[in-house]
Amino acid sequence: MTTLRITLAALLASTLATGAFAAAHSMNANPMVGGAEMFADKNIVENAVNSADHTTLVAAVKQAGLVETLMGPGPFTVFAPTNEAFDMISDDSLRALMMDENKAQLTKILTCHVVAADVMSGAIAGMIADDGGEHDVPTVGGCVLKAKMTGDTITLTDEQGRLANVTIADVKQSNGVIHVIDRVLLPAM
């Protein structure tokens, strides 16, 4: 009887430990973005097209001709503005930006959201700390973003002094990482 109790207690403890491990493991999985599961074995474009929160970004990437680039091997870090971030731009300005004759300007804006490296939020936070509270982030588009920490949130200031918050960090991709942001970043004009 005592052996049975010990065995049942050990089995229960093992089951609880396994459940705790599974819960901890699931916390390490990619976050959901825009109601869609993000898969670490898919590239940036393959995942972004499934996010209901990034339809404007996907349309802009297509219009700018950046699909093949962002499906390439990378590595890339993409600061991905949501539809709500694009909604801060007037409809007329966004419509104009999406016109063929403004493709160069659209491309410049979008590539100011891309870094030619795979940089997770912990590394960004470390660089911010190492640089005394602010770290320059050079982008593929030639812009330099200023990264800071506000509490536990990474913030990015664009070349016009506009602030974006990283709202979802570390969305792993096969060719880099996406950090969701709440504002479109703009180059100096």
Q: For residue 2, give its domain range.
A: 1-30
**Residue 83: its H or E element:** helix 83-86
d(CA 37, CA 39): 6
d(CA 88, CA 183): 8
Say whether pLDDT at 56 is over 90: yes
Q: What is the pTM of this model?
A: 0.83
Same structural domain, 111 and 139: yes
Res 28: pLDDT: 53
d(CA 30, CA 14): 26
Give the mean pLDDT of the chain.
Answer: 86
CA angle 52, 186, 117 (to 5 degrees): 75
Band the pLDDT of 7: cuts 50, 70, 90.
Answer: very low
Please check whether residue 186 lies inside any domain of the structure.
Answer: no
Tokens of 176: 């880099």
Q: Which CATH number does the domain housing residue 131 bear?
A: 2.30.180.10
The single-letter code of the amino acid at 3 is: T
Please check whether residue 81 lies inside any domain of the structure.
Answer: yes
Q: Each residue of 120-137: pLDDT tens digit?
A: 999 999 999 999 999 999
Please check whether residue 7 lies inside any domain of the structure.
Answer: yes
d(CA 64, CA 85): 18
Res 110: pLDDT: 96
Band the pLDDT of 10: cuts 50, 70, 90.
Answer: very low
Residues in a beta bridge with 171: 178
Res 12: pLDDT: 32
The values of phi and psi at residue 9, to 5°, are: -65, -40
Res 116: pLDDT: 95
Q: Each residue of 18-53: pLDDT tens digit?
A: 333 233 333 457 888 988 899 899 999 999 999 999
Same structural domain, 41 and 54: yes
Mean pLDDT of 171-185: 96
